[in-house]
């Protein structure tokens, strides 16, 4: 006959056994946050990728990334570099925090800050141009610590503390790595120096999680030879600015993407790394691109048309993202920060006025609540670019001056619409959205009802 003491022993053992199973189950459910790599090409509109129908350029590595991941058809940047960089890094519309060209307000927090605080190893590599420049007035260019202030533990940057006239981004580049300028060398190619830094950072932090923000130097002008261009062999030709070299620059961008993907595969990191590729604005105005459907697309960098704002967006997470999906939901640059934080399992702070929403569900093929519209506030504060605001969806677009377009059929915006019974409700809804937006100067918020 079993004694009470034995019964208690058996009961205690059973409780401990089931508790251990429960703890094991909880541990198994814990998911290691993914590594995140955000790549942003410089001045590369959607038409530059063959995955989007380009016939002028061949981008096999990016095409493969799209074939194995998700290609977004309706991603929109700001029309110009600094407005886009401020927006993508902070998740906010420009009226909230864009104060000067070439400047990111030190009061802001970026996705680098949030991911670093969550335990990520972080770096930024490529083009910076955010320490402060407005016309001839330059402030803060001597400050080598601003990338650290914005959440990046390490950096490899062009145009950090010295400006473009003092050194270009391609041959003989002026690049600063963690506070030290690398020796100048005519045989160095800036994009290679920067990529090698990224690869080294990944190798040193492969235990993860890590975050790499990679705002590439390519394919911004000057349009010069790459090391894969025959003209590179002649050192005097390395500074020759000619649009015929643009094709080589696109190809070199794609080559770097291929090397990065190979690095992730060889290191066993691809399974737990979310990769996003986009561009900071449309292509340079000198560039004409032929598409497979016969259209010729002119770059419109600085303009609020599709040629200045529609950019590629490809997302890939091996074994997690949808495969070969083409997504037509609306995405803009305010959505990137919420997406990165969503992937990392970080809640959005309630005391910040974020304007975007996560598109991670679209990447993973989960239930989504797509954006109804995209809103853009654009005051370039640089050059002769014209400012303004608009609201748009995939088909229609309303500017603050009242011009209304069917951009699906009129992407060059040559024929303003007169609303009819079918389009009036859309225009009315867009008018309401513009009227509800705060912080818009009265001179560009003059929609006519």
Which of 368, 399, 415 is the last residue before a domain boundary?
A: 368
Indicate whether 311 and 356 sit together in one domain: yes
Residue 116 inside a domain? The answer is: yes
Indicate whether 194 and 120 sit together in one domain: yes
pLDDT band at 143 (very low <50, low <70, confident <90, very high): confident
Residue 2 inside a domain? The answer is: no
> In the chain, what is the greatest distance between 2 CA atoms, to the nearest angstrom?
99
State the residue range of the domain holding 403: 387-444
Indicate whether 311 and 391 sit together in one domain: no
Residue 238 inside a domain? The answer is: yes
Q: How many of the other CB atoms lie within 10 Å of CB of 36?
A: 25
Q: Rounded CA gap, 216 and 226, in Å?
A: 14
Residue 117 inside a domain? The answer is: yes
User: Tokens 């867009």 correspond to what residue?
Assistant: 430
Residue 16 inside a domain? The answer is: no
Is pLDDT larger for residue 449 or for residue 303?
A: 303
> Which H or E run includes 213?
strand 210-215
Residue 13 inside a domain? The answer is: no
Q: Check if the beta carbon of residue 249 is closer than 8 Å to that of residue 42.
A: no
Q: Total structural domains in the chain? A: 2
Residue 23 inside a domain? The answer is: no
Indicate whether 344 and 428 sit together in one domain: no
- Would you say the C-alpha torsion 419, 420, 424, 430 has a positive or negative sign? negative
Indicate whether 266 and 411 sit together in one domain: no
Indicate whether 221 and 269 sit together in one domain: yes
Q: Check if the beta carbon of residue 127 is closer than 8 Å to that of residue 215.
A: yes
Helices (H), 34-164: 60-68, 81-90, 94-97, 111-117, 146-149
User: Tokens 């705060």 correspond to what residue?
Assistant: 438
Q: Rounded CA gap, 334 and 88, in Å?
A: 6
Residue 163 inside a domain? The answer is: yes
pLDDT band at 230 (very low <50, low <70, confident <90, very high): very high
Indicate whether 352 and 271 sit together in one domain: yes
273-322 residue pLDDT tens: 999 999 999 999 999 999 999 999 999 999 999 999 999 999 999 999 99
Q: Rounded CA gap, 170 and 129, in Å?
A: 16
Q: Rounded CA gap, 299 and 306, in Å?
A: 9
Cα distances (Å, whole numbers) of residue 16 to 19, 20, 342: 5, 6, 36
pLDDT band at 40 (very low <50, low <70, confident <90, very high): very high
User: pTM here?
Assistant: 0.91
Indicate whether 267 and 231 sit together in one domain: yes
According to DSSP, residue 438 is labeled S
On the question of pLDDT at 137 being above 50, the answer is no
Q: Check if the beta carbon of residue 279 is closer than 8 Å to that of residue 76.
A: no
Indicate whether 310 and 432 sit together in one domain: no
Indicate whether 333 and 397 sit together in one domain: no
Sheet arrangement for strand 404-406: 374-378, 388-392, 396-399, 404-406
Closest CA to 280 of 295, 302, 305: 302
The CATH number assigned to the domain holding 76 equals: 3.40.720.10
On the question of pLDDT at 56 being above 80, the answer is yes
Indicate whether 337 and 430 sit together in one domain: no
Mean pLDDT of the chain: 90
Q: Rounded CA gap, 131 and 152, in Å?
A: 14
Indicate whether 145 and 244 sit together in one domain: yes
Q: Rounded CA gap, 392 and 402, in Å?
A: 13
């Amino acid at each position: 006959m079993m004694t009470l003491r034995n019964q208690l022993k058996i009961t205690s053992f059973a409780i401990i056994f089931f508790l251990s199973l429960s703890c094991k189950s909880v541990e198994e459910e814990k998911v290691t946050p993914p590594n995140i790599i955000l790549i942003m090409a410089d001045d590369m509109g959607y038409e530059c990728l063959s995955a989007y129908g380009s016939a002028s350029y061949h981008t096999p590595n990016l095409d493969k990334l799209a074939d194995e991941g998700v290609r977004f058809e309706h991603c929109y940047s700001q029309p110009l570099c600094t407005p886009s960089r401020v927006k993508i890094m902070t998740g906010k519309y420009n009226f909230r925090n864009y104060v000067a060209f070439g400047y990111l307000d030190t009061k802001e927090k970026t996705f680098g800050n949030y991911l670093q605080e969550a335990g990520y190893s972080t770096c930024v590599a490529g083009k910076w141009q955010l320490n402060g420049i407005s016309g001839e007035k330059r402030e803060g260019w001597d400050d080598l610590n601003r990338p650290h202030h914005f959440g990046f533990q390490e950096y490899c940057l062009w145009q950090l503390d010295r400006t473009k006239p003092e050194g270009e981004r391609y041959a003989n580049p002026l690049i600063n790595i963690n506070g030290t300028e690398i020796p100048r060398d005519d045989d160095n190619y800036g994009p290679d120096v920067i990529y090698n830094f990224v690869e080294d950072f990944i190798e040193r932090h492969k235990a993860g999680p890590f975050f790499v923000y990679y705002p590439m130097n390519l394919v911004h002008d000057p349009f010069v030879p790459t090391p894969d261009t025959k003209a590179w062999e002649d050192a005097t030709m390395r500074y020759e600015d000619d649009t015929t070299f643009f094709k080589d620059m696109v190809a070199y961008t794609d080559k770097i993407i291929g090397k990065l993907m190979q690095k992730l595969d060889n290191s066993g990191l691809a399974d737990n790394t979310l990769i996003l590729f986009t561009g900071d604005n449309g292509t340079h105005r000198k560039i004409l691109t032929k598409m497979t459907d016969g259209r010729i697309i002119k770059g419109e960098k600085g303009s609020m048309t599709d040629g200045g704002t529609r950019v590629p967006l490809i997302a890939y997470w091996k074994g997690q993202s949808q495969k070969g999906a083409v997504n037509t939901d609306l995405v803009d640059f305010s959505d990137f920060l919420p997406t990165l934080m969503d992937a990392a399992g970080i809640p959005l702070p309630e005391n910040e006025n974020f304007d975007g929403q996560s598109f991670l569900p679209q990447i993973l093929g989960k239930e989504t609540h797509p954006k109804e519209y995209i809103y853009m506030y654009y005051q370039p504060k640089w050059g002769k670019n014209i400012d303004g605001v608009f609201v748009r969806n995939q088909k229609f677009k309303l500017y603050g001056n009242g011009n209304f377009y069917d951009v699906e059929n009129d992407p060059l915006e040559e024929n303003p619409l007169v609303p009819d019974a079918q389009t009036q409700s859309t225009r009315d809804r867009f008018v309401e959205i513009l009227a509800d937006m705060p912080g818009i100067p009265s001179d560009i918020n003059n929609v006519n009802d």
